[in-house]
A and B are shown apart, each in its own frame.
Chain A
Amino acid sequence: MFNLKAKYVEQNTLTACLPSNFNNLLTKYQLTMIELLDVMKIPKDDPVAFTFFTGYMAMAAASVFFFMERSQVDKKWKLSLLVSGLITAIAAVHYYYMRDYYGATGENPTALRYIDWTLTVPLMCVEFYLLTKLAGAKKSLMWKLIAASVLMLVAGYIGEAFNPEGGSTSHSVMWGVISTIGYIYILYTAWFGEVAQLAEKSDSAAVKKGVRTLAWFVLVGWAIYPIGYMCMPGGWLNVGLGWDASNVDLFYNIADAINKIGFGLVVYGIAVSESKDYA
């Protein structure tokens, strides 16, 4: 654990020889610093706190990257990169607050996490629409995917946040199954449904490959979230195998970083290869 707070208190002895108003000013400054340092401390043996911090920084850096690179690609891909940047920017803001919440309480920031997902996952679905738009995707596809993602997240939130004390299996399973219906719909659409068919119809090899890669993200990357959900008290894996939720935040943080930044990088890759003037 960082011991900077103690160092600041030690240095306080120096202030005795300074004017009294300066002393007051410095005390205020010191308090602010101490509060800030208190928030920022990352225990060495706490990988969850570490991943909250790195997740926040990675999301912020990815946002800057996507926004800056937006000017380098063809006009038709600018919106896709804007959405990629928005996904990571929204996540970065939420990670900033989640990091604080976790640092202060040591608990899962469930509500903040679901607010983040409720905003970013539908945006990922918008990416599918934007990528296949040139191959003839209709807006109805976008709305269907958004509706499925909202169903998945709202049901997941109810299942996780309103789980009775100690965990209720019937509650967890019921909302988990409802949530999974939304997930399976997106999965099917990305692999075999409208998105896959439109990508196949597309003239661009980069779009075909990119949509398939995004479908892999949905299959493997997104599957980490239901596994985390099943480890909550009363969940499938918690009841059946005794897996607990202590490391859920760690998995969520790693999965978030891979899924959101990775998702954006795939879109960026398509945009770059499809932009004639990219240098």
Chain B
Amino acid sequence: MNKIGLLFFISIYIVLSIFAWVGNISMETQIIWCVAGIMLIGIPHGAIDHIIYLEGKKEAGPVFFYSFYFGLMGIYILAWIWFPIMSFIAFLLLSAYHFGESQFSDIKTIPRYFHPLINLIWGCSILSGLIFYNTEELILFSQTADGLAIFNIVFDTGFHQLFLPICTLCIIALLFILTYYKYIQPERLLREVYILALIHFCFYVLPFMIGFTLYFVVLHSFSVLAEEFEYLHSKRVDFSLTHFVKLLLPFTLLSFIGSGCILYLAYLGYIRVPGALLVLIFISVLTLPHSVVMNGFYEKFYRRSAP
């Protein structure tokens, strides 16, 4: 277990205690706390994508990067307009891959072809768990929030009843195989099984919104921020935490302003998309280029020596 794993463990405990003490927490309060957590930690973890991408790259300049980044965002927006359900499924799969990639990013010894498989199955296991344990809550939410009811097809309990155990068993079996062939240490296997169990426990006992935010903020975003800091620290002379925070600030603030503007335009009626759906599209559109950048980052930062 690393320090972020311990932090995740303590966070679950604190949130469980708050729930037990306060009793039922309204959906509005949950949303406020979750949005605050995602804004403060989740958004900054993708706020230096341009620096991560351009660091040490002479052949690609900022113009190329921003064209590629915003181009991908544009394509995904069009996909949302034409194929909303497919776009939503693609978003879930992309997120699953991205979460898995950040979980196993530091394992240098796994053969290259194993990485996509293990990343996707790990991510599918946790996301399927998140949906399966909270199906009722998700369906209720999608029915009350405008524009989300069409995605109920994804929350089908029968599918996840099968998909969840298959993915979970597959990932555990893969980890056992990797341990057997000495690609990972037995302790790493134990750590991964423990973290996977802890994430499933978190999603099972806590409401959907809180459970996901805890995972996303503490386990995913903190880990990525720590890796980004480590990377820049290794590349730049006298790189401190203050420098890192200063790098994070501009695009974090830009994201706040951008999301505020979009929601305001929607409120005024210039964007004719329901609020909840707009938030979903906004998050997914940010996720696509971020995942692509992070994929390249992990390639150059961690896997140079992979067999």
Of A184, A187, A188, A236, most B-chain CB atoms within 10 Å = A236
Encode contact with A along B3-30: 1 for CB under 8 Å, 0 otherwise.
1001000100100110111000000000
Give every chain B residue within 8 A of A216 (Cβ-Cβ): 187, 190
Q: Are A240 and B19 touching (Cβ within 8 A)?
A: yes
Q: Are B10 and A239 touching (Cβ within 8 A)?
A: no
- With contacts A191-B1, A240-B16, A240-B19 taken as known, whether A184 is within 8 angstroms of B190 at the C-beta atoms is no
Q: Are A239 and B6 touching (Cβ within 8 A)?
A: no
**Pick the contact of B20 from A180, A191, A220, A240 — CB < 8 Å?**
A240
- Closest CB in chain B relative to A176 CB, distance in Å: 7
CA–CA, A170 and B6, complex, Å: 25
Q: Are A172 and B20 touching (Cβ within 8 A)?
A: yes
| Contact of A278 with B by CB under 8 A | no
- With contacts A170-B21, A173-B21, A212-B187 taken as known, whether A192 is within 8 angstroms of B3 at the C-beta atoms is yes
CA–CA, A169 and B3, complex, Å: 30
**Pick the contact of B6 from A177, A191, A230 — CB < 8 Å?**
A191
CA–CA, A217 and B16, complex, Å: 23
**Pick the contact of B205 from A176, A180, A219, A237 — CB < 8 Å?**
A237
Give every chain B residue within 8 A of A241 (Cβ-Cβ): 205
Report A227-275 residues with CB < 8 Å from chain B CB: 230, 235-237, 239-241
Counted as pairs of residues, one from A and one from B, with CB atoms less than 8 Å apart, the total is 37
Chain B residue nearest in CB terms to A227: B201
CA–CA, A267 and B194, complex, Å: 23
Report A186-228 residues with CB < 8 Å from chain B CB: 187-188, 191-192, 212, 216, 219-220, 226
Give every chain B residue within 8 A of A226 (Cβ-Cβ): 13
Chain A residue nearest in CB terms to B187: A212
Give every chain A residue within 8 A of B17 (Cβ-Cβ): 173, 176-177, 236
Q: Are B20 and A219 touching (Cβ within 8 A)?
A: no
- Closest CB in chain B relative to A189 CB, distance in Å: 12
Q: Are A192 and B16 touching (Cβ within 8 A)?
A: no
Q: Are B20 and A235 touching (Cβ within 8 A)?
A: yes
- With contacts A173-B20, A219-B194 taken as known, whether A184 is within 8 angstroms of B205 at the C-beta atoms is no
Q: Are B1 and A236 touching (Cβ within 8 A)?
A: no
Give every chain A residue within 8 A of B16 (Cβ-Cβ): 230, 236, 240
Give every chain B residue within 8 A of A172 (Cβ-Cβ): 20
Chain A residue nearest in CB terms to B19: A240
Chain A residue nearest in CB terms to B10: A184
Give every chain A residue within 8 A of B6 (Cβ-Cβ): 187-188, 191-192
Report B165-183 residues with CB < 8 Å from chain A CB: none
CA–CA, A219 and B10, complex, Å: 12
Chain A residue nearest in CB terms to B21: A173
Give every chain B residue within 8 A of A230 (Cβ-Cβ): 16
CA–CA, A241 and B203, complex, Å: 13
CA–CA, A188 and B187, complex, Å: 18
Q: Are A169 and B20 touching (Cβ within 8 A)?
A: yes
Chain A residue nearest in CB terms to B194: A220
Give every chain B residue within 8 A of A192 (Cβ-Cβ): 3, 6
Contact surface of A with B, Cβ cutoff 8 Å: 169-170, 172-173, 176-177, 180, 184, 187-188, 191-192, 212, 216, 219-220, 226, 230, 235-237, 239-241
13 more CB-based (< 8 A) A-B contacts, given A220-B194, A236-B20 = A169-B20, A172-B20, A173-B17, A173-B20, A176-B17, A177-B17, A188-B6, A191-B1, A216-B190, A236-B16, A236-B17, A240-B16, A240-B19
Q: Would you give 26 A-B contacts (Cβ < 8 Å), ordered by A?
A: A169-B20, A172-B20, A173-B17, A173-B20, A173-B21, A177-B17, A180-B13, A184-B10, A187-B6, A191-B1, A191-B6, A212-B187, A216-B187, A219-B194, A220-B194, A226-B13, A230-B16, A235-B20, A236-B17, A236-B19, A236-B20, A237-B205, A239-B20, A240-B16, A240-B20, A240-B205
Return the 4 tightest CB-CB contacts between A and B, nearest first. Answer: A236-B20, A236-B16, A173-B21, A173-B20
